[in-house]
Amino acid sequence: MKKYILLSFILVLSFISVMFLLNSCTVSQKVNDKTGTQLWGENCGRCHNAPGPGELNAVNWDIVGKHMKVRANITDAEEKKIIEYLKSTGN
């Protein structure tokens, strides 16, 4: 009987984990509606004085984007919008 309870518990946890992972991969409509400017203001300035759009070139913004995507825990879509904004207003 204990084996069935344990097996059921593991199956439920596995199902919840899979559903969480599938849902976390989609971009929410809230993020889709935001511009790169809004996302930059919300994410980049919340922890430190982020460099302004004109302070780095396009190649450096790509590097910063990859690094900060991990550090700030932003999605691919958010990173893309932020970097596009920074490149469009920079050097």
The pLDDT value recorded for residue 29 is 65
Helices and strands (DSSP H and E) totals, the chain: 5, 0
Which fold, 27-89?
Cytochrome Bc1 Complex; Chain D, domain 2 (1.10.760)
pLDDT single digits (tens) 20-79: 555 555 556 677 789 998 998 888 877 777 777 788 888 999 999 999 999 888 999 999
Domain boundaries, the chain: 27-89
* pTM reported for the whole predicted model: 0.63
- For residue 1, give Cα distances in angstroms to 6, 7, 8, 71: 9, 10, 11, 45
Using pLDDT thresholds of 50, 70 and 90, give the confidence band for residue 81: very high
